[in-house]
Every structure is written in structure tokens, then in C-alpha cells.
Amino acid sequence: MTSHRWSQNIEQTLPSRQGAHVPLIEEILAKLEELGWEFRDRFGIHMALEESLTNAIRHGNKFDEAKVVKVHYRLSPERFWLMVQDEGPGFVPECVPDCTCEDRLDVPGGRGLMLIRAYMSDVCYSDRGTCVTMEKIRGQEPAMDD
Amino acid sequence: MSVRRRTKLSESGPVTVVTFADSKIIDEEEIQELGQELYDLVDREDRKKIVLNFAHVEFLSSAALGKLISFEKKVSQHGAELILTNIRPEIYEVFAITKLTKLFKIKDDEADALAVL
């Protein structure tokens, strides 16, 4: 993993303010397009970025501007890697109910984590759920049950 | 009637066709506004047959999905009917991943929806 030649390796912090993540997403998507990533892959990465950064700002840091979201990303023509860390209390990903169960289909929340898992090749939570790390291999199809 | 900023309406007989003003449905405040405009269709205007046309929608977040789910519930409670149409393949995939294709009635285009409403 460490031997991969990354085109970019960038760390930055975001304030815990609504919409603070939007310019970063635009920047990353533009870089991926420059590196030749197709629309379909960029769509999935857009989803994972939107959901993970929103979760960190909203559910993790609860819009507390005294707290920041740490973002570390690497990209290359073949791979995209992202780490998002908030300063919130954390959560247990396994305890988030499955929103695709028949009796929970009409419950409005809980789909963000599922979308991240579906579109990324690999997703891992650490530090009590305050840190999520994910990777996307270019061209890999979204995971779909059934 | 209040001003609509997130949706546009047209009528086709008894059916109300809703199109979305935004191509990306992400912003929290805009999603709240969108939800209110949709809720008003049944709560205040008592519309019974509604088509949501997604032709302009290029991206939507899970928060937007949540709002659509709440709207579907409200529509059912009011004894109204709701059909989603013109969903791009990548957006349809989002519905498929989250199994919302089982919750919503989805048709290819407006003509297909109007034929069954």
C-alpha cells in the first residue's frame, strides 16, 4: 500500500460550519477529472465525500466551531484515499440500524454510511468512530446486495 | 400560496408534476425548503396525484433521500399517490443501493406515470 505512487497527498482542516466542506469537494472532484477519472467513479467519490464530511461536521462536531474536521486525502490516476476525523464523542458503526430492512425502509435517516460503504472499495472506522478511512480503486463497481 | 424556490409545478389533468429547481440537492437549508414545498402540496393544497420528475437532478445526498422518504409517508397518510420519474442511472443506483426502489413507485418518464395515475 505504501509503495503506491500518489499524485497528491494533502492534509487540511475544515471548520465545523454548515457547507464548509463544499469547496473542498469541488476541488477534489476537479483533480480527479484532471487525472482521467470517469464520471461514474467521480459520482461515487462525491457521495462518499459528501456523506463523510457532513457526518463529521453535523453528527461528530455538531456544528461546534471550536472543533475542526481533519481531512487527509491522496489521489492518483488509479486510487483515491481519504481520512476524515472529527472531535465528537464517536459512535459504533455496527450499532447503526440497517436502513434496508423491510421494517426500516420508510425511516428517513441512516443511509449515509451505507452509501459510503457501497461506493468505496474499502472503509474502516477507528478512534471510537471519530475517524473514517476509505479507499476507492478506479473502475470498481459499487457494492449492491441481492 | 407561498413562493416556491426549490420546485416548479405543472398540471396534467388531475396530476401535479413537480420538477426540481436544483441539479444538486445537498444543501441542508435548501433540503428543508424543498421538504416544506413538497409537504405543502398535500398538507395545504390537498393534491392527490403527484409526479416528482428528477430529470434535472444530477446529485442528491442521504439528507435529501430522508426528506423524500418523509414526503412519501405524508403522501400515504393523506391517501394520495406519488410516482418518481426521469431518474438518471447514477441517481437510480443510489435508490437501488439503499433499497428505496422498494419504497417508491418509479416510472421511466412522465408519460408512463400519467398513464397509471
Q: Among residues of chain B, what percentage have pLDDT more than 90?
A: 97
Instruction: Look up residue B25 and give its three cell numbers.
Output: 440537492
Whether B1 has a pLDDT exceeding 70, the answer reads no
List, as one string, the DSSP characters of A66-109: TSEEEEEEEE-SSEEEEEEE--S----GGGS--TTSGGGTT-SS
φ and ψ of A37, to 5 deg: -70, 135
Which of B28, B94, B98 has its CB closest to that of A100?
A: B98
**Closest-CA residue in chain A for B65?**
A108
Beta strand pairing call for B59-60 and B24-25? parallel
Judge whether A112 is closer than 8 Å to chain B, CB to CB. Answer: yes
pLDDT in tens, A109-139: 779 999 999 999 999 999 999 999 999 999 9
d(CA A25, CA A5): 22
Contact A115 B28 (CB under 8 A): no
Nearest chain A Cα distance for residue B98, angstroms: 6
d(CA A137, CA B92): 22
Query: pTM of the entire structure?
Result: 0.94
pLDDT in tens, B60-91: 999 999 999 999 999 999 999 999 999 999 99
Q: What is the pLDDT of residue A1?
A: 52
Contact A115 B98 (CB under 8 A): yes
Q: Name the strand (E) or helix (H) holding B38.
A: helix B28-43
φ and ψ of B53, to 5 deg: -95, 115
Contact A81, A135 (CB under 8 A): yes
pLDDT in tens, B5-60: 999 999 999 999 999 999 999 998 999 999 999 999 999 999 999 999 999 999 99
Q: What is the pLDDT of residue A146?
A: 59
**Closest-CA residue in chain B for A44?**
B90
Low-confidence ranges of chain A (pLDDT < 70): 1-2, 145-146
